[in-house]
Chains A and B, each alone.
Chain A
Amino acid sequence: MTVSTVSPPRTEFAQGVRDSLPFVPSVFPYGLVVGALAMKSGGGAIETMLQSVLFFAGASQIVMWELYGLSAPLWAIALAIFAVNFRLVLYSAAIGRKLEPLPKRKMIAAMFLLQDISLATGLRREEQVGQLSWGYYMGLAAVLYVVWLVATAVGIGFGALITDPGAIGLDMLVPIYFMLLVMGFRAKPNAAAICITSALACGVTYQTLGSPYHIAAGGVAGMVLAAALAKPKGKPG
């Protein structure tokens, strides 16, 4: 085990908190939308809060309410959630290797809080500093979790007021925000080719099989291309 602590844990935590702050204004409206959407789909305040506490995964929460609103069977809802969240399997494998060695309980807590922003920001931290500490990661993830819960609660409270999310652009906030997250990776090897391949596979699947299969299709296509283009590293290991 290599001990190359960059800074004391408290400093790391504070840095994680700091790096999470730019994302708060984009996470908050998303949570607001989930809370409001849940109210419109027949959810109660308790069930909706419970969902945000246990899921902490916005896209799948939205999918759950859509399908619940359509009276889909439980197995279909579970399958759709699994497909939408399949990216978390890949995220988990990607970031688990970058996190400093952790006891099981801490690792499970870290994985429970894993989502798109903690992955992207965590990986960037590892790239810049050469290490991803538990303190930094938890500072980052905990802020986003708390913001998520507060935003859901506010969304529940004011859900009825947002009659048309399109009128204030909330429908496009999420795609725009993910596009910019993707752009943050543009210096990575083959990033543009991976992005375009994923977009094509995703678009075709979206138009044929439909949602939520487009997520897995695009993800797998991009990964396959990256694997095909990969070159062995000079150093062993």
Chain B
Amino acid sequence: MVDWYLVLVVLVGSAVTLVNRLAGHYILARFEPIPYRVEAALEAVPVAVMTTLVVPAAINGGPAEWLALAAAFAMGLRLHFLIAVFGGVAVLLLLRQAGL
């Protein structure tokens, strides 16, 4: 059975998401030429926003999570992206096994 209210939630949510995806290019980008400060702000978006996807985990985490993030950071400076990702997770699991 399909839950029609849930389908509505999905449709509304996806419409909102598509608006987000189109608004930047079709509204924000209408302002040409883009002033250099706006340009710098846009260049900063990936760093500024993706950082916020990390912070709650760091706040909610304990020593195991902090050390895993630190280990992944250290590995990320030298090693391949994926090795650092799974290395960080591996450190986390080891620390959790150890009871941290």
Contacts and interface: CB of A to CB of B under 8 A. Distances in A.
**B-side interface mostly:** helix
B98 interface: no
B55 A202 contact: yes
**A-side interface mostly:** helix
Interface residues of B, number: 70
Interface string B58-89: 11010001001100110011001110111011
A207 B58 CA distance: 12
A198 B44 CA distance: 10
Contacts of A182: 46-47, 50-51, 54
A44 interface: yes
A92 B34 CA distance: 15
A63 B84 CA distance: 27
Q: Give the interface centre of B16, B38, B47 by most chain A CB atoms within 10 Å.
A: B47
Contact of A119 (B18, B33, B46, B56): B46
Contacts of A218: 48-49, 51-52, 55
Nearest to A214: B52
Given A176-B85, A218-B49, A226-B41, A82 B22 contact: no
Contacts of B65: 172
Contacts of B52: 198-199, 202, 214-215, 217-219
A-B pairs, top 4 by smallest CB distance, nearest first, are A222-B48, A92-B24, A96-B25, A230-B40
Given A51-B13, A55-B10, A77-B9, 11 more contacts: A22-B82, A47-B7, A91-B46, A92-B21, A92-B23, A94-B42, A111-B21, A172-B89, A195-B47, A202-B55, A214-B55
Interface of A: 22, 25-26, 42-44, 46-47, 50-51, 54-55, 57, 59-60, 64, 68, 74, 77-78, 81-82, 85-97, 107-108, 111-112, 114, 116, 119-120, 123, 166-169, 171-185, 188-191, 194-195, 197-199, 202-203, 206-207, 211, 214-215, 217-233, 237
